[in-house]
Amino acid sequence: MSEPIKLSTRSHVSTIEWDMMDKTKFLPLSMLSSFCVRCTLYPLTLIKTRLQIQKHGEMYKGLLDAANRIYHMEGMSGLYRGFWVSSAQVLSGAAYIGAYEQTRHMTAPYLQQWPEIRSMVAGGVASVFGQTIIVPFDVVSQHLMMLGLSTSTTDKNKIVNQLEKRCPVNTSLLFLQSISGVLAGFTTTLITNPMDTIRARLQVQRTNSIVGTFNALWKEEGMLMFSKGLSARLVQSICFSFTIILGYESIKRVSVLHEYKDHVRW
């Protein structure tokens, strides 16, 4: 077991490590925060999925049109169809966070000089744990979403370092981390949107292969396949990234052990 981190009386930490936190506070609060964020933003997830699944804009013309039609045709419950199944993803979130932080802690002696690689390794391990839990619930949830149709942490750390160099010294680190989460999420969403659309088709329509699904999408939409559901996904990503990072980093600060409280920078 590694020795506790020693800090001078004037030093501050920008990254709160696993062994600096009270886990009895951190884990329950992080799960509660994740549930609240998912509950608030779930309608955007549902709208995004329906926009990705529809063909040639046959049902909805865009984000606002989809929200309006679903609300008026199915009521508020329509916007939360499949939510309780999806809420099980909170468990995968807890597994992800635990695996991420624990892996960072275990690799610290070997990768202390390479924080980006350390975070990348931890993110990879955490994704395996999280996805193992989340995929079955995700499939069921997306099928339920469609019933009404009769359905990166390493990047954030890099962006934080860049923003810190360009902002005043006293700028809130929590604010920089939240903005960095938004920028990382925005970039990732633009790059991965076609893959997310293919994933949704595979899960809901039970197509046989990634290549076959890609070819079908290309025949249906052409170049528009790259922007299918993108508006809803971008709004979802911006809101989700900001609130998740804000909640996560705030909870880490609240959960920090007493001996480190004076060294934590907000």
**90 occurs within a structural domain:** yes
3-state secondary structure of 21: strand
**10 occurs within a structural domain:** no
DSSP designation for 256: B
According to the model, what pLDDT value does residue 152 have?
52
- Residue 256's φ and ψ, nearest 5 degrees, are -65, 145
**119 occurs within a structural domain:** yes
Mean pLDDT split into 10-residue runs, the chain, 266 residues:
49 74 86 86 86 76 87 89 78 76 82 79 77 60 54 59 73 81 81 80 72 83 78 82 85 86 79
According to the model, what pLDDT value does residue 150 have?
44
CA–CA separation, 198 vs 48, rounded Å?
13
CATH of the domain at 65: 1.50.40.10
Quick one: which of 198, 197, 221 has its CA closest to 209?
198
Q: Which amino acid is at 77?
A: S
DSSP designation for 263: G
According to the model, what pLDDT value does residue 1 have?
45
End-to-end CA distance of the chain: 28
224: tokens are 């528009």
**9 occurs within a structural domain:** no
Q: What's the total number of domains in the chain? A: 1
Burial class (CB in 10 A: 0-12, 13-18, 19+), 151: buried
Q: Note the residue count of the chain.
A: 266
**47 occurs within a structural domain:** yes
According to the model, what pLDDT value does residue 105 have?
81
**1 occurs within a structural domain:** no
Range of the domain at 166: 19-263
**2 occurs within a structural domain:** no
210: tokens are 């990634």
Residues 6+ away with beta carbon under 8 Å from 244 = 33, 34, 37, 181
**75 occurs within a structural domain:** yes
According to the model, what pLDDT value does residue 52 have?
79
pTM score of the predicted model = 0.63
